[in-house]
């Protein structure tokens, strides 16, 4: 469902004209940095942005572009630091505030992301991205009605964006309103049938409704469309467990963990695997901690109890 993973970060471009002043020099360094970033060389890009900042330490656009280079390197702390500086020197810098909010979300700083969403709503209440990030931050804080309201408003401002319908459907899934979620997914598919998160979410709904074979077909379609998402493989592994194909399932769950070692759902699924294999020690190794840390996670309590009874 993650639209934020596909948002293209727009770099700021400055054209150099006239005499070779500091103003034009810093613009050239900015452009050289952008060229390196376009060549997938963010480290060199950062060097050029620093050259621009050596000429003008209050150059907000250079801080912004440098932050985007750090983001490409998955250096979230550095990304946030540079965005803070961009906003310090340009307080109404909408895109910098938006990207900082996104970085806060990725960094687990959900309350700060919500603060940036509130700031964006004041700056530009007619921009769909203001409501999008508001919805994302409320989702992370498990305030689902507010999250749904944010995504709905974003969708009214950008009705052709299928991802925003998938976002709404995801919240409805969390609320166990499966019928309404499925109806939104139909609309999203009409706009963009190749959206992988749509098919993954549909698979999750089908699994909850007991249609495991259909869930497997749907998540396989998601993987065909995007083979880089760890949680797709983890979901496929879960469905294979319930289709009595445990060894295939374990291989996929392990693959998911290798891709993303922070996903508790993958460790839950591995615990379920060991319960199904009758391995009490290994099952409890995974499920005991999850039962304490994520007591409301689907299937955790059920399989923790089964592991204890082995």
In a domain, 214, yes or no: no
User: DSSP characters for 96-152?
Assistant: HHHHHHHHHHHTT-HHHHHHHHHHHHHH-TT-HHHHHHHHHHHHHTT-HHHHHHHHH
Quick one: 288 exposed, middle or buried, by C-beta within 10 A (0-12, 13-18, 19+)?
middle
Q: What is the pTM of this model?
A: 0.86
In a domain, 191, yes or no: no
Beta strands in 11-111 (DSSP E): none
DSSP conformational letter for 10? P
Average pLDDT on 4-19 reads 50
Under the phi-then-psi rule, with left for phi > 0, alpha for psi from -120 to 50, and beta for the rest, what region is 17? beta
- CATH assignment of the domain containing 6: 1.25.40.10
Question: Which two structure tokens, joined as six digits, stand for 162?
Answer: 């299928």
Mean of per-residue pLDDT scores for the chain: 93
In a domain, 72, yes or no: yes
| Total number of domains in the chain | 1
In a domain, 38, yes or no: yes
pLDDT for the residue numbered 209? 97
C-alpha to C-alpha distance for 236 and 256, rounded to whole angstroms: 10
Residue found by looking up tokens 């039962």 in the block: 291
Under the phi-then-psi rule, with left for phi > 0, alpha for psi from -120 to 50, and beta for the rest, what region is 299? left
In a domain, 68, yes or no: yes
Each residue's pLDDT tens digit, 184-218: 999 999 999 999 999 999 999 999 999 999 999 99
- Residues ≥6 apart with Cβ < 8 Å to 76: 70, 103, 106, 107
Residues in the chain: 310
Question: Which two structure tokens, joined as six digits, stand for 57?
Answer: 């330490």
Range of the domain at 57: 1-107
Each residue's pLDDT tens digit, 98-155: 999 999 999 999 999 999 999 999 999 999 999 999 999 999 999 999 999 999 999 9
In a domain, 7, yes or no: yes
In a domain, 88, yes or no: yes
C-alpha to C-alpha distance for 71 and 3, rounded to whole angstroms: 16
In a domain, 15, yes or no: yes
- Residues ≥6 apart with Cβ < 8 Å to 115: none
Average pLDDT on 37-60 reads 95
Each residue's pLDDT tens digit, 250-277: 999 999 999 999 899 999 999 999 999 9
Task: Reply yes or no on whether the pLDDT at 2 is more than 90.
Answer: no
Task: Reply yes or no on whether the pLDDT at 171 is more than 70.
Answer: yes
C-alpha to C-alpha distance for 88 and 100, rounded to whole angstroms: 12
pLDDT for the residue numbered 23? 77
Each residue's pLDDT tens digit, 155-164: 999 999 999 9
């Amino acid at each position: 469902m993650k639209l934020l993973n596909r948002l293209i970060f727009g770099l700021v471009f400055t054209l150099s004209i006239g005499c070779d002043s500091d103003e034009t020099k810093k613009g050239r360094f900015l452009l050289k940095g952008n060229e390196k970033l376009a060549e997938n060389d963010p480290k060199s890009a950062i060097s050029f942005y620093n050259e621009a900042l050596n000429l003008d330490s209050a150059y907000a656009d250079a801080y912004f572009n440098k932050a985007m280079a750090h983001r490409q390197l998955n250096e979230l702390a550095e990304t946030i630091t540079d965005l803070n500086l961009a906003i310090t020197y340009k307080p109404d810098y909408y895109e910098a505030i938006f990207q900082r909010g996104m970085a806060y979300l990725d960094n687990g700083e959900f309350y700060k992301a919500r603060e940036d969403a509130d700031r964006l709503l004041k700056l530009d209440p007619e921009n769909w991205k203001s409501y999008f990030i508001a919805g994302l931050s409320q989702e992370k804080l498990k305030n689902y009605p507010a999250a749904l309201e944010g995504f709905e408003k974003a969708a009214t401002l950008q009705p052709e964006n299928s991802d925003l319908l998938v976002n709404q459907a995801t919240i409805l899934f969390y609320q166990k309103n499966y019928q309404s979620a499925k109806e939104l997914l139909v609309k999203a598919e009409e706009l963009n049938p190749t959206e992988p998160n749509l098919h993954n979410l549909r698979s999750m709904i089908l699994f909850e409704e007991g249609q495991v074979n259909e869930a497997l077909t749907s998540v396989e379609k998601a993987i065909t469309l995007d083979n880089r998402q760890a949680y797709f493989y983890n979901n496929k592994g879960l469905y294979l467990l319930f289709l009595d194909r445990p060894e295939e399932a374990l291989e996929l769950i392990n693959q998911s963990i290798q891709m993303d070692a922070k996903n508790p759902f993958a460790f839950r699924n591995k615990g379920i695997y060991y319960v199904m294999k009758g391995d009490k020690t290994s099952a409890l190794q995974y499920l005991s901690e999850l039962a304490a840390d994520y007591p409301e996670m689907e299937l955790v309590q059920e399989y923790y109890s089964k592991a204890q009874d082995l």
